[in-house]
Amino acid sequence: MSEAEIVLSLEGVTKRFDALLANDGISLTLRRGELLALLGENGAGKTTLMNILFGHYVADSGRVFAFGKELPPGRPRAAIAAGIGMVHQHFALAANLTVLENIIAGTEDLRRLRSDRAAARVKLAEIAERFGLAIDPDARVGDLSVGERQRVEILKALYRDARILILDEPTAVLTHQEAEKLYVTLRTMAQKGLSLIFISHKLHEVLAAADRVVVLRGGKVVAERRAADTSRNELAELMIGRRVTRPIREAQTPGDVAMRAQGVDVLVGGVKRLSDIAFELRAGETLGVIGVSGNGQSALGELAGGLARAAAGSFELFGKPVGKIGPRDFVALGVSRIPEDRNGSGAVGEMTIWENAIMERVRSVRFSLAGFVRRGAARAFARTIIERFDVRGGGPDSPIRLLSGGNMQKLILGRNLETAPRVLIAAQPTRGLDEGAVAAVHAEILAARRAGSAVMLISEDLDEIIELADRVQAIVKGRLSPPIPVAEADPRRLGLMMAGDWKDAA
């Protein structure tokens, strides 16, 4: 390729956050019609670099050029005007507005008395048809699936005439089927002249979708490979700096039933989210729950964690009816919960790491004395988690919002596993984690099982369920299938179960 085909270049970009060197002299290029994967472990500096490119952050040094012109630092509007669009991992959409209203928001002069909806509708239809992004412009965003919402975010960028598109963990919240469709769409976009950068931890997706891969480690570019010339093992080793192997589940005999549901219904906001469900969690065993996002996983996790009550049926914890006890009682009885939404219900961004580490157990004698928080004990607990679970990006007194998503997830995991729970409810525990962190988390979950914890693993990752679970149930439209042994749970059968085909489940 000739130099004329370069549409984006970063030269010597460096960015510090206090003592943390997030980006260290990074240079890279992007060419017209290219799909570039930016790969790196949690905290490697990927999102920081893309936020500098889009103008959300100002680099301490270095320059960014788009289509041969230098971009002014810290000005997202200038990046948008230059043809750069960004799709964040956590969508910025108004749920109560329509697709069309979300897409045109901020694109019209506020001094105009009337919005030209007709012209906007025509332009949106043309873009949707060109790139195969069909969507109902009058649909309310709150009624869309996660995959459809991501499509709206991409259309927002394209509506603003983006010629370079940045996607931060684009498949982190998508099902396997949605992810496959997304990458087909991205390939189509590249073939039609758009240039794309996507951040990902999922190595099989990187190899299947990218033309070229740039690997960051410790804030530096450590390698660049053509996707066709590398392998999953090589990329994992380049990311982590060492060879990565997944732990293996060992057979063991389960113990007593720790949690049991029979014929349970759960209402959330007056709407039935779970219907006539049944499951058992046994000590020293992992029950895997697989399903497409939005089929009742959140309500199931809330029921098992004490945040929701059974409206009908029988629900027991350690052989006793649950009754009206709440989440604090569940914690006191040894139930630990890793929520699927780490930002919404797993952490408080403005609080420090040590405050987040003890928030669910702040009233325990370990962290409280005569109504006062034992800060020394809390900080020591946070330091233990940071060291054991390799949480990078700050010390005990740093705000947790400074951590990358993956490192925040490791802290949440650590505060639960460090307390040796009797029951562990793990919802999407490795979402957004790099290959090395996934292996470490899997090892910790298997260690908890080996130590006698009853584990409920709620995941959309077929490989994760097969690797960690002893028995598997599918959740479809708020109902749970009968369980099957993991030895019978090949990807094809699990796919059928996720689609509601339970005739072969015993």
The pLDDT tens digits of the residues spanning 151-188 come to: 898 899 899 999 999 998 887 666 666 778 888 888 98
Beta bridge partners of 256: none
Backbone angles phi, psi at 282, to 5 degrees: -115, 150
Contact present, 360 and 326 (Cβ < 8 Å) = no
pLDDT of residue 247: 87
> Alpha-carbon distance 330 to 456, whole Å?
15
Domain spans in the chain, listed from the N-terminal domain onward:
3-240, 257-334+421-498
> Alpha-carbon distance 228 to 329, whole Å?
53
Contacting residues for 60 by C-beta, under 8 A, at least 6 apart: 14, 15, 16
How many C-beta neighbours within 10 Å does residue 366 have?
14
> Alpha-carbon distance 464 to 438, whole Å?
9
Q: Is 111 a residue whose pLDDT tops 60?
A: no
Q: Which architecture characterizes domain 3-240 according to CATH?
A: 3-Layer(aba) Sandwich (3.40)
- How many residues are recorded in the chain? 506
The pLDDT tens digits of the residues spanning 390-410 come to: 888 889 999 998 887 778 888
Fold type of domain 257-334+421-498: Rossmann fold (3.40.50)
Q: Which whole number is the average pLDDT over 460-480?
A: 92
Pick the closest to residue 42 from 405, 412, 464 (CA basis).
405
pLDDT of residue 382: 94
43-47, 340-344, 413-417: lowest mean pLDDT where? 340-344
Percent of the chain with pLDDT over 90: 52
Q: Which whole number is the average pLDDT over 190-201?
A: 90
Q: Label residue 99 by pLDDT band (50, 70, 90).
A: very high
* Gyration radius of the chain's alpha carbons: 24
